[in-house]
Amino acid sequence: MSLLADYLANIKPSATVGISDKARALKAAGRDIISLSQGEPDFDTPEHIKEAAIRAIREGRASKYTAVDGLAELKQAVAAKFKRENGLDYKTSQITVSAGGKQVLYNAFMATLNPGDEVIIPAPYWVSYPDMVLLAGGKPVEVVCGMDKGFKITPEALERAITAKTKWFLLNSPSNPTGAAYTRAELRALADVLLRHPHVHVMTDDMYEHLIYDSFVFTTPAQVEPALYPRTLTVNGVSKAYCMTGWRIGYAGGPEPLIKAMAMIQSQSTTNPAAASQWAAVEALNGPQDFIPKHNKIFQERRDLVVSMLNQANGIKCPTPEGAFYVYPSCAGTMGKTTPTGKTLASDEDFVTELLEQEGVAVVHGSAFGLGPAFRISYATKNEDLEEACRRIQRFCGNLK
């Protein structure tokens, strides 16, 4: 009898972590590697947020368990954020806090999926979604949204994907891995479909809400269509906009029975997220927000640099995304070509493997996100490295025959 559970046969480790590990190993072996595979800002957590955590530790407010799904102070800060930034009214009893947005999503699937329940996931998607759904016993239903559709699901495609077994429609805007974000009009059109199917719930992952460029206006489904509010879980967190990936705090607002069920699952797994991190998150949400536009200005410059340089590489086509810190270029124009070392590129996985081997640039293959041949670049890296990496990609593509 195997020690490991049968269901693990369907689950794969995160591809993004896999590439980062490979890049790290090559670096440790002395190779000159530029990694554009990481999904986190290169900026450090702002000082006032760090100080809030240090104060909480010194004052003995971080030594003990807190309420399972978050300090009252943090739930109040989250409720105030939803009101201030999204026009959404959530009582603190409708708010949950977990160890990162990832745990929020995981709790939500564990709390709601019966065997065979379907979750509609537009592809390309964040790598963890389908595996989380599988872990919870559900069935991921991937809907491919190509570059020609701006990587966004259309109302027609959503309508076609809905069945009697659909439990959730999972939306992620701005998106990891494409950076695509939905306008209010696009969300309105999707909401019209959802209004015709009252059994479908909406899980919206707004993790990159603040990372938007060119005066794009962020909106979230429950804000666009108040009739969706009772069946929407609005997920967010401090990881990306506040440069706090290491602190592990995510949160959500939603219907009270769901929030209670999620807290019950958390009470039997990890209990509360680290208290010091929660105090840091209180400060992140209530404190000054002025560093966010400053970071965005830098991210936007980097995005424009990367898009422009990639579009000068043979066989690469890179659209300009609305948000997040990723670009998702197609490498279809390089498929079937051969490297100077004699390797023919048959897939985007070949493309990224050869790029890493030959030029020391780590990116993630698009097929890991459900749409290839393409690759994802994270531009949350300093400008010199981005420029050098794009030069190497141009050289790599230029050398293909």
Ligand X SMILES: Cc1ncc(COP(=O)(O)O)c(C=O)c1O
- Cα of 146 vs its chain's centroid, Å: 18
| Close Cβ partners of 321 (under 8 Å, ≥ 6 residues apart) | 174, 178, 179, 180, 181, 303, 327, 328
Q: Quick one: tokens of 84?
A: 């201030």
**Shortest spacing between CB 98 and ligand X, in angstroms:** 8
- Cβ proximity to ligand X, 108 vs 309, nearer residue: 108
- Cβ proximity to ligand X, 237 vs 323, nearer residue: 237
CA-to-CA distance for 309 and 120, rounded, in angstroms? Answer: 34
Backbone torsions φ then ψ of 8, nearest 5 degrees: -65, -20
CA atoms within 13 A on the CB side of 212: 17
Residues lying near ligand X in the complex (CB under 6 A) are found at 39, 100-102, 126, 172, 176, 205, 207, 237, 239, 245, 250
Nearest residue relative to ligand X (C-beta)? 100
Q: Is 163 helix (H, G, I), strand (E, B) or coil?
A: coil
- Cβ proximity to ligand X, 296 vs 339, nearer residue: 296
Q: Which residues pair with 95 in a beta bridge?
A: 253
Written as one letter, the residue type at 51 is E
- Cβ proximity to ligand X, 282 vs 335, nearer residue: 282
CA-to-CA distance for 41 and 207, rounded, in angstroms? Answer: 13
Q: Is 27 helix (H, G, I), strand (E, B) or coil?
A: helix
Asked if 338 and 401 touch (Cβ cutoff 8 Å), the reply is yes
**Shortest spacing between CB 17 and ligand X, in angstroms:** 10
- Cβ proximity to ligand X, 277 vs 339, nearer residue: 277
- Cβ proximity to ligand X, 272 vs 339, nearer residue: 272
- Cβ proximity to ligand X, 126 vs 375, nearer residue: 126
**Shortest spacing between CB 261 and ligand X, in angstroms:** 20
**Shortest spacing between CB 328 and ligand X, in angstroms:** 13
- Cβ proximity to ligand X, 175 vs 334, nearer residue: 175
Query: Which of 105, 135, 131 is closest to 13 using CA atoms?
Result: 131
CA-to-CA distance for 136 and 64, rounded, in angstroms? Answer: 30
Asked if 40 and 239 touch (Cβ cutoff 8 Å), the reply is yes
**Shortest spacing between CB 310 and ligand X, in angstroms:** 21
**Shortest spacing between CB 18 and ligand X, in angstroms:** 14
- Cβ proximity to ligand X, 101 vs 366, nearer residue: 101
**Shortest spacing between CB 131 and ligand X, in angstroms:** 13
CA atoms within 13 A on the CB side of 201: 19
Where are the alpha helices (H) located in 67-116, listed in sequence order?
72-86, 101-112
Cα torsion 68, 71, 74, 76: sign: positive
CA-to-CA distance for 121 and 158, rounded, in angstroms? Answer: 10
Q: Quick one: tokens of 242?
A: 């506040």
| Close Cβ partners of 266 (under 8 Å, ≥ 6 residues apart) | 68, 69, 96, 98, 103, 107, 272
Q: Are strands 166-172 and 232-237 parallel, antiparallel or unpaired?
A: unpaired
- Cβ proximity to ligand X, 124 vs 250, nearer residue: 250
Q: How many CB atoms lie within 10 A of CB 192?
A: 13
**Shortest spacing between CB 172 and ligand X, in angstroms:** 5
**Shortest spacing between CB 208 and ligand X, in angstroms:** 7
**Shortest spacing between CB 16 and ligand X, in angstroms:** 8
**Shortest spacing between CB 186 and ligand X, in angstroms:** 18
Written as one letter, the residue type at 173 is S
- Cβ proximity to ligand X, 172 vs 334, nearer residue: 172
